[in-house]
Structure 1
Amino acid sequence: MSKNLLFEIGVEEIPARFMAKSIADLEKGAAAMLREARLSYDKIRGLGTPRRLTLLIDGLAERQEDLKEEVKGPSKKAAFDGDGNPTKALEGFLRSKGLTVDDITIREQGNGEYVFATKEEKGEEAMAVLPDLLVALVDHLKFPKPMRWGDYDMRFVRPIRWLVALLGQEIIPLRIVNVTSGNVSRSHRFYGSGDVVIESPETYVEQLRENYVMVDPAERREVIWKQIQDLAAAHNAVVEEDEELLEEVVFLLEYPTALMGSFEEKYLRIPKEAVITPMREHQRYFPVLDHDGNLLPHFVTVRNGLPRNIEIVTAGNEKVLRARLADAEFFYDEDLKIALADNVERLKDIVFHVTMGTVYEKVERIVKISGYLADCCNACRKEVERGAYLAKADLVSNMVYEFPELQGIMGEYYAVAQGEPAVVGQSIRESYLPRFAGDDLPESINGMLVSIADKIDSVVGFFAMDMEPTGSQDPYALRRQAMGIVQIILQGNLPINMGELIDFVYELIASSYQTEKNQTATRERVYNFFGQRLENVLSDSGLKYDTVNAVMSDAIDDFCLIRTKGEALEEFRKNSNFAPLMAGFTRVNNLAKKAESAAYDIALLKEDAETALVAAYDRFQKSADAALAANDFETAFNAIAAMREPIDGFLTDIMVMCDDEKLRNSRLGLLRAIADSMLKIADFREIVVEK
């Protein structure tokens, strides 16, 4: 037999950003505890609003499963003394399991005899174990910022105000701090009947809905999005889906009603990001666009309640936004009065890091690094350096001070408005990309180079100061910045030598600051750090892990070249000769380890299979060397393929480890030379051939 369970934790308003994880943790915690308690169930659902966390369990067994398990105790020698009496080891084992000597058996296992016993435990009624389980579940929930209230020692996300705990229609008796469980929930704070007597878990969702609480987040999301889309359609407009904002709004309210408000068109003259940011970040409003993607003087917001007095509510929201936009307009106009280049001097007052000077000093380094990169990539050095010089200038602007998320974005607007070339403005904005995993990458070559310069300065600088990431700690986001550099280089197919770049940046930093690590140590650590990021990117692109290992075993200075080689090897692996060729290479490489050197005497190699292999190796060497010099990896791999038959013939017909020492050494030397040449192309020792 089974029943449904309802457990609702009524609280003061929980911050929206905590809700999704709290509900997920509630589900996971309940599943783990029920499994440990031997209580089966059909389905677990976590629900919630800002004022409640709810657990619904369908088909919960009314009784625990009986426990019957075999337990192993000490060895027979340790369990009994010389007279056959139980030792303290056996007595302790029996006591811990609630058993007696009559319950045990002796059985052989492995190299000895051991004590075994079957432990049986009759399952209890679910109602008897659920109170402690549910209290423990609440105790085990973790939150980023828990709090205490009253004189209680308990810490929870917010003070608990009521508890509903039902198994079927029966109340599960429990108490958490000063709150006793019952069957009374609460309606919407401003609508409904106040107290809501829950008849059963099956009626819970509908009873709350009747009292203006949509307890299911999925239902609220669907209702909110439909209302938003309906409002947009009614105005022949578009509201783009914003998953992050939508989820936050879902967990800000219990009963949604969307409404559309307006603001003065004059605010559309300022950059749209300066309008959208206060709208979205401060007010949780959805911007409204026309079908061409242009911002309209409207917004959509969602109130927590019924559509009563909607005009008054709309006017109130418009008034609040109007004040925000007036501030943004003022900031924009004031910022334009000061040349962006004049702001650069003010960066001397902002500390980048105590070990690496001010933001102004960082800008000086970024300019030099950008110029170096421009020369490497045949870009316009003057334009790249100008973008780098202005990249941080908007940090001291009024707009960015108020809305830090607009850094770089406002810099582009100010630069273009003040007569800078569009490509310079674009590089200012793109210098911050990518800001997070999955973010856009810079599109312009100038933006790519300034972004790389900014990030490599931080990565090399913090490594040189012995402040590299450790474990889960990465306070300066160096992993993200290094990953961004790898992605930018690969997307732009940029001919950047990473080892030389690291040295250049280190020397810039070391010329002005006392570093904790010398250049060699820093270079090696940063080099390996980028190698890990490159490996991840190549694997994520679809290359097999052993292909990646094979092409990254040597120097990885040129990321694009490594990728090209990996793609060529991946294609080469489709060749029907690949598996037998790798089998032959493995034998060649194993024998080559016995060679003293890669030297061999052609005059001693007279057998047909020997002369055939020597001739094939000569052809291979010439073809492969020319191909590698031209970075033509496809041709290099095809040259290897031509070695299959000569290698197989040699290994079949020739006794390599013959008695004649000179002949043996020549044969081994030839194999060593072949193995070394193949390994110059890729480390085939890393390849795992599927059987």
Structure 2
Amino acid sequence: MTKNVLIELGLEELPAYTVTPSERQLGERVAAFLTENRLAFDSIQTFSTPRRLAVRVLGLAEQQTDLSEDFKGPAKKIALDADGHFTKAAEGFVRGKGLTTADIRFEEIKGEEYVYVTKNETGRPAKEVLAGIPEVLAAMTFPVSMHWASNSFAYIRPVHTFTVLVDDEALELDFLDIQSGRISRGHRFLGHDVELQTADSYEDDLRSVFVIADAKERQQLIVDQIKAIEVAQNVQVEIDEDLLNEVLNLVEYPTAFMGSFDAKYLDVPEEVLVTSMKNHQRYFVVRDQAGKLLPNFISVRNGNDQHIENVVKGNEKVLVARLEDGEFFWREDQKLVIADLVAKLEHVTFHEKIGSLSAHMDRTKVIAEHLAAMAELSDQERTDLARAASIYKFDLLTGMVGEFDELQGIMGEKYALLAGETAGVAAAIREHYLPNSAEGELPETKVGAVLALADKLDTMLSFFSVGLIPSGSNDPYALRRATAGIVRILDKFGWNIPLDELIASLYDLHFESLTYDNQDAVMAFIAARIEKMMDSSIPKDIREAVLASDTHVVKELLAASSAIFQKSQESGYKEAVESLARVFNLAEKAPAGVAAAADLFENEQEKALFAAAEGLVLTGDMASNLDKLFALSPVIDAFFDNTMVMADDEAVKNNRLALLAVLTAKARKVAAFNLLNTK
């Protein structure tokens, strides 16, 4: 007969961004623990609120499955001495398995006998195994941890309650000096401690004390309440997924409501209002049916609807203070002069080891000019690029960005337009920050894209040059994001810019403010970001083979990995790759400076391969290139079937190796085929 098991950990309020990942992690760890301990179960449900993480295991077996495992030991000649007694080697082997020499048997393998033992282990009751749950909880990892009281163990937040119920039975366990029981805490203001009756009654028990334990149910409740307000007020509400997830993990018993603010604030740029509401107050934005911003907001209370009018007034008061700040900075910033702000950037530190923001901008401008030709910008685009690169960080010194740093670039565009800058310059100021997240939007204009590339390239090269290189998961200066942005922008615009040549050319530049260093580390870092961009379903050997090619154009590298992966699903892949891999492996032995000479060919197969290699023309179309290379497989096989490459005659041998080197040099445009796994 199976059991249902509930595991709940009651904590102080968790940071909202940690709740969902922690809920998922707990479920995965419990499932792994049960599997490793041979405890069968039907399924696992997870629960979370800001003050608890919980798991319910459905259909848990009453005991572990029995274990029967064979172990091979030393050879019989080592296990027995001359008198036929077991040696210390045999005794040590069985002792290590918890057995005795009486359990030994001998089995023959390839003409020689070896010691074998079978270890049989009867499954323990599930309750005994569940005593290991505290270890599962202790093994959890979090982005932040803390100590409390006299406890030496760091955890995400102080633990208040701990429960393990097997159906209706509460197990007596200990976690961080908290004794397990069946008490859980209700809503901080509306509820009280509650006794959990059974594993199955968990949601109902907590609902009675104003806690919705199921995050999915809580989220749907929030969405339904917002939708109801939309219908009642004839408005549209932007339900941003990230904001919804954050709000979800701030409340245990949600009640959505609509508030308002004075329409005069709508004269302030919409981005300021939206940032104030979403980022600072965690409010949902409200629009009319035409999409126009309305002087309203939706918030979610952590509680019921009693005295909701007081809650509305309080939220409105807090928001007005924010909007007053935004209105003030919007008005005052327009009195500033861009040139004055740019001059002050000389006194703003980019990084203490690197120098000022002004010096960073100077290097970026040189790089931007360098990239302009590669990106084939028009004369007007070059003019806009030069101007944008001269001023693009000025808005960092405005009051608005000082108060709302999320608006950097956005306010730069608006203030630039007010100051009479061209639309191209203004857009580039905004777009140079893009992408601002792993999957964030990319620049739309060429000028903005080039300025973004230049800014990110100098950022990466500068930090690498002074030894501030990311290691492990540590990346305090977001260099992985910046480098991924470089790769994504190059891919989007399809610029035929080989990254090896680009980086090498930047290292040839000379600046008074900084000398670039660590070029090899930079190239390896870029390659790692390109590999991350490749489809996750593409095997590692294909990714590595493509990155080892002689192609360094982002769009071609991505196309090559996809083309090879597609081919790997088709018949003939193994044979074609093995033919090319054989060519690559032998070509490595070709002497430098030796060219293939037709008059040294001794058979028709050599001549055919030489003609095929000489006539092979590969382009930027990687799928077509791969077709052409794979089509050579019969020619390559015929060559090897009829030709001894490593001939005794040195001139003939070197000529054949040079022939293979010709083909390898061309094929390496697609991939290093000898790195592909065909087993």
TM tier, smaller = 0.7 to 0.9
8 Å Cα contact 1:284-1:301 kept in structure 2: yes
5+ residue gaps, structure 2, are none
Determine the C-alpha separation between the residues in 2 that align with 1:154 and 1:327. 43
Determine the C-alpha separation between the residues in 2 that align with 1:576 and 1:321. 64
8 Å Cα contact 2:590-2:661 kept in structure 1: no
1:554–1:151 CA distance, 2 compared to 1 (3 A): closer
Determine the C-alpha separation between the residues in 2 that align with 1:63 and 1:560. 55
8 Å Cα contact 1:261-1:314 kept in structure 2: yes
1:183–1:415 CA distance, 2 compared to 1 (3 A): same
1:576–1:207 CA distance, 2 compared to 1 (3 A): closer
8 Å Cα contact 1:464-1:506 kept in structure 2: no
- Answer with 319-328 or 284-293: which moved more: 284-293
TM superposition shift of 1:328: 1.5
Q: Which residue of 2 aligns with 1:27?
A: 27
Q: Which residue of 1 aligns with 2:196?
A: 198
1:573–1:181 CA distance, 2 compared to 1 (3 A): closer
1:69-88 counterparts in 2 under 5 A?
A: 69-76=69-76, 79-88=79-88
Q: Which residue of 2 aligns with 1:395?
A: 396
Q: Which residue of 2 aligns with 1:526?
A: 522
Q: Which residue of 2 aligns with 1:600?
A: 597
The one-letter code matched in structure 2 to 1:212 is F
Determine the C-alpha separation between the residues in 2 that align with 1:632 and 1:176. 60
Q: Which residue of 1 aligns with 2:549?
A: 553
Q: Which residue of 1 aligns with 2:15?
A: 15
8 Å Cα contact 2:462-2:514 kept in structure 1: no
- Answer with 543-552 or 383-392: which moved more: 543-552
Determine the C-alpha separation between the residues in 1 that align with 2:10 and 2:637. 76
Q: Which residue of 2 aligns with 1:243?
A: 241
The structure 2 residue matched to 1:265, chosen from 263, 266, 287, is 263
TM superposition shift of 1:25: 2.3
1:294-373 counterparts in 2 under 5 A?
A: 294-373=292-371
Q: Give the match's secondary structure for 1:426.
A: helix
Residue 675 of structure 1 pairs with residue 676 of structure 2: no
- How much identity, in percent, do the aligned residues show? 39
Determine the C-alpha separation between the residues in 1 that align with 2:566 and 2:88. 67
1:610–1:319 CA distance, 2 compared to 1 (3 A): closer
Q: Give the match's secondary structure for 1:58.
A: strand
The one-letter code matched in structure 1 to 2:353 is T
Determine the C-alpha separation between the residues in 1 that align with 2:377 and 2:268. 36
8 Å Cα contact 1:460-1:505 kept in structure 2: no
TM superposition shift of 1:649: 8.2
Residue by residue over 1:68-91, the C-alpha shift from the partner in whole angstroms, topping out at 9 and shown as x without a partner, is 333445554555555555555544
Greater CA radius of gyration, 1 or 2?
1
Q: Which residue of 2 aligns with 1:223?
A: 221
Q: Give the match's secondary structure for 2:200.
A: helix
8 Å Cα contact 1:551-1:565 kept in structure 2: no
1:233–1:648 CA distance, 2 compared to 1 (3 A): same
8 Å Cα contact 2:551-2:557 kept in structure 1: no
1:543–1:429 CA distance, 2 compared to 1 (3 A): farther
The one-letter code matched in structure 2 to 1:104 is I
1:454–1:671 CA distance, 2 compared to 1 (3 A): closer
8 Å Cα contact 1:624-1:635 kept in structure 2: no
8 Å Cα contact 2:80-2:86 kept in structure 1: yes
- Answer with 209-218 or 377-386: which moved more: 377-386
Q: Which residue of 1 aligns with 2:62?
A: 62
Q: Give the match's secondary structure for 1:41.
A: coil
TM superposition shift of 1:368: 1.9
Residue by residue over 1:454-477, the C-alpha shift from the partner in whole angstroms, topping out at 9 and shown as x without a partner, is 011122223333433334333333
8 Å Cα contact 1:547-1:687 kept in structure 2: no
TM superposition shift of 1:548: 8.7
The one-letter code matched in structure 1 to 2:597 is Y
TM superposition shift of 1:640: 7.4
8 Å Cα contact 1:255-1:305 kept in structure 2: yes
Q: Which residue of 2 aligns with 1:424?
A: 425
1:124–1:589 CA distance, 2 compared to 1 (3 A): closer
The one-letter code matched in structure 2 to 1:260 is M
Determine the C-alpha separation between the residues in 2 that align with 1:77 and 1:567. 55
Determine the C-alpha separation between the residues in 2 that align with 1:294 and 1:466. 49
Q: Which residue of 1 aligns with 2:147?
A: 148
8 Å Cα contact 1:257-1:304 kept in structure 2: yes
TM-score (norm 1): 0.84
Determine the C-alpha separation between the residues in 2 that align with 1:395 and 1:310. 39
8 Å Cα contact 2:257-2:300 kept in structure 1: yes
TM superposition shift of 1:200: 1.5
Determine the C-alpha separation between the residues in 2 that align with 1:64 and 1:502. 59
Q: Which residue of 1 aligns with 2:449?
A: 448
Determine the C-alpha separation between the residues in 2 that align with 1:294 and 1:62. 60
Residue by residue over 1:339-392, the C-alpha shift from the partner in whole angstroms, topping out at 9 and shown as x without a partner, is 233211221222112332111110111122222222332333221021122221
Residue by residue over 1:416-443, the C-alpha shift from the partner in whole angstroms, topping out at 9 and shown as x without a partner, is 1222111111101100111221111100
8 Å Cα contact 2:582-2:674 kept in structure 1: no
8 Å Cα contact 1:104-1:117 kept in structure 2: yes
Q: Which residue of 2 aligns with 1:183?
A: 182
- Answer with 303-312 or 137-146: which moved more: 137-146
Determine the C-alpha separation between the residues in 1 that align with 2:605 and 2:95. 76
Determine the C-alpha separation between the residues in 1 that align with 2:571 and 2:65. 56
The one-letter code matched in structure 1 to 2:211 is V
1:587–1:598 CA distance, 2 compared to 1 (3 A): farther
Determine the C-alpha separation between the residues in 1 that align with 2:574 and 2:356. 57
- Answer with 661-670 or 447-456: which moved more: 661-670
8 Å Cα contact 2:11-2:51 kept in structure 1: yes
Q: Which residue of 2 aligns with 1:234?
A: 232
TM superposition shift of 1:241: 2.7
1:465–1:115 CA distance, 2 compared to 1 (3 A): same
TM superposition shift of 1:279: 1.4
8 Å Cα contact 1:582-1:684 kept in structure 2: no
Determine the C-alpha separation between the residues in 2 that align with 1:670 and 1:69. 56
Q: Which residue of 2 aligns with 1:53?
A: 53
TM superposition shift of 1:534: 3.8
Residue by residue over 1:241-273, the C-alpha shift from the partner in whole angstroms, topping out at 9 and shown as x without a partner, is 312111111111111110011111111222222
TM superposition shift of 1:158: 2.6
Determine the C-alpha separation between the residues in 2 that align with 1:198 and 1:323. 44
8 Å Cα contact 1:539-1:548 kept in structure 2: no
TM superposition shift of 1:48: 1.8
1:375-414 counterparts in 2 under 5 A?
A: 375-376=373-374, 377-379=376-378, 380-414=381-415
Q: Which residue of 2 aligns with 1:491?
A: 492
8 Å Cα contact 2:538-2:561 kept in structure 1: no
Determine the C-alpha separation between the residues in 2 that align with 1:207 and 1:333. 54
Determine the C-alpha separation between the residues in 2 that align with 1:127 and 1:641. 60
1:138–1:638 CA distance, 2 compared to 1 (3 A): closer
Residue by residue over 1:300-352, the C-alpha shift from the partner in whole angstroms, topping out at 9 and shown as x without a partner, is 11101111111111111111111111111112222221123321122122211
Residue 43 of structure 1 pairs with residue 43 of structure 2: yes
Residue by residue over 1:10-34, the C-alpha shift from the partner in whole angstroms, topping out at 9 and shown as x without a partner, is 2222222221122122212222322
TM-score (norm 2): 0.86
Determine the C-alpha separation between the residues in 1 that align with 2:54 and 2:273. 38
Residue 124 of structure 1 pairs with residue 105 of structure 2: no
